[in-house]
């Protein structure tokens, strides 16, 4: 079996290319995903104090890794998670967190892997269970073995946007013994036939779980489609509460000027992150 090596980002990318990565970010260019028989880039951000302490840290797992730290690899706008955590950790050391970002495999495979069920009309999805199994059975055990983590669910966050929000919430509800906190930005559910709602109603939500859900009031330009995605996000919020979530365990954020775009998610991330962690 090939050794897995995380390299400093400067040994993977040339600084002359204008990369916007901040802090101690390391990259595994070819992490093998046995559940899907593919290799993907995995990014690992280590907190400011990591190298000079023996402290153990919470871990945030986040999808669409191309857009998390770097403008060059993004689709034009990055989330600036590295800059945000560098700033927040100066203000409050308790917010220091390891971040593990997983690249998607291009738009087609992203749609397939971030959806559990096959959308027969549009012919995508169906690989989500394999992707979730990778996170639970392969990636998290590797991260916990290589870095000083707090491995318990109350210190393990899973987050993403759009279909990444969907797969995050699905994974967390199914594996409440692994993921105790969820960031679901612009939660998209139009593509499925109620399977997430069915899953939530079939599982009692742990009282310790914290779930952040956002949807933009202007999420989608088409009025009827915009109403649909807003209604489905609201239904998810209601169903989580009816399924046992703690009174203050779900934060439902209807963003007045929110759009389906990284600019919106970047702006929401600091508030959502602090609420989930504190």
Name the maximum alpha-carbon separation found in the chain.
53
Strand order in the sheet with 156-161: 7-8, 24-33, 38-46, 98-102, 59-62, 156-161, 181-185, 210-216, 250-255
Residues 6+ apart with CB under 8 A from 101: 42, 43, 44, 45, 61, 62, 63, 64, 65, 68, 69, 81
**pLDDT score recorded for residue 1:** 52
Residues 6+ apart with CB under 8 A from 166: 114, 115, 160, 184, 187, 188, 189, 191, 192, 196
Decide if 187 contacts 165 (C-beta within 8 A): yes
**pLDDT score recorded for residue 16:** 83
- For residue 2, the tally of other CB atoms under 10 A from its CB is 7
pTM above 0.75, yes or no: yes
Decide if 130 contacts 32 (C-beta within 8 A): no
**88: helix, coil or strand?**
helix
Cα angle 11, 16, 20 (rounded to 5 degrees) comes to 80
**213: helix, coil or strand?**
strand
Residues 6+ apart with CB under 8 A from 172: 158, 178, 179, 180, 181, 182, 209, 211
> How far from the centroid of its chain's Cα atoms is residue 130's Cα?
16
pLDDT by 10-residue block (mean), the chain, 278 residues: 86 91 97 98 96 97 98 93 97 96 96 95 95 98 98 98 98 98 97 94 96 97 96 98 96 96 97 96
> How far from the centroid of its chain's Cα atoms is residue 121's Cα?
26
**110: helix, coil or strand?**
helix
Selected from 3.40.50.1820, 3.40.640.10, 3.40.50.970, 3.40.50.300, the CATH number assigned to the domain covering 7-277 reads: 3.40.50.1820
Q: What is the DSSP letter of 15?
A: G
Instruction: List the domain boundaries for the chain.
Output: 7-277
């Amino acid at each position: 079996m090939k050794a897995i090596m995380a390299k400093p980002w400067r040994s993977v990318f040339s600084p002359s290319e204008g990369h916007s990565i901040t802090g101690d970010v390391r990259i595994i260019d070819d992490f093998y995903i046995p559940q899907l028989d593919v290799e993907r880039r995995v990014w690992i951000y280590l907190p400011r104090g990591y190298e000079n302490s023996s402290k153990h840290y919470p871990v945030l797992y986040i999808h669409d890794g191309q857009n998390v730290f770097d403008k060059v690899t993004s689709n034009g706008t990055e989330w600036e998670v590295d800059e945000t955590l560098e700033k927040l950790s100066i203000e409050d050391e308790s917010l220091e967190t390891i971040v593990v970002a997983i690249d998607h495999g291009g738009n087609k495979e992203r749609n397939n892997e971030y959806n559990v069920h096959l959308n027969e009309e549009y012919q995508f999805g169906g690989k989500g269970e394999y992707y979730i199994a990778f996170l639970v059975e392969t990636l998290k055990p590797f991260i916990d073995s290589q870095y000083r983590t707090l491995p318990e669910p109350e210190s393990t966050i899973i987050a993403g946007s759009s279909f990444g929000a969907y797969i995050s919430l699905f994974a967390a509800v199914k594996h409440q013994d692994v993921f105790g906190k969820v960031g679901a930005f612009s939660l998209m559910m139009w593509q499925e036939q109620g399977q997430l709602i069915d899953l939530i109603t079939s599982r009692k939500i742990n009282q310790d779980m914290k779930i952040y859900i956002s949807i933009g009031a202007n999420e989608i330009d088409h009025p009827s489609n915009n109403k649909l995605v807003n209604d489905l996000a609201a239904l998810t919020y209601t169903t989580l509460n009816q399924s046992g979530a703690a009174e203050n365990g779900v934060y439902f954020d209807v963003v007045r000027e929110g759009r389906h775009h990284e600019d919106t998610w970047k702006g929401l991330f600091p508030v959502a992150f602090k609420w989930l962690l504190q």
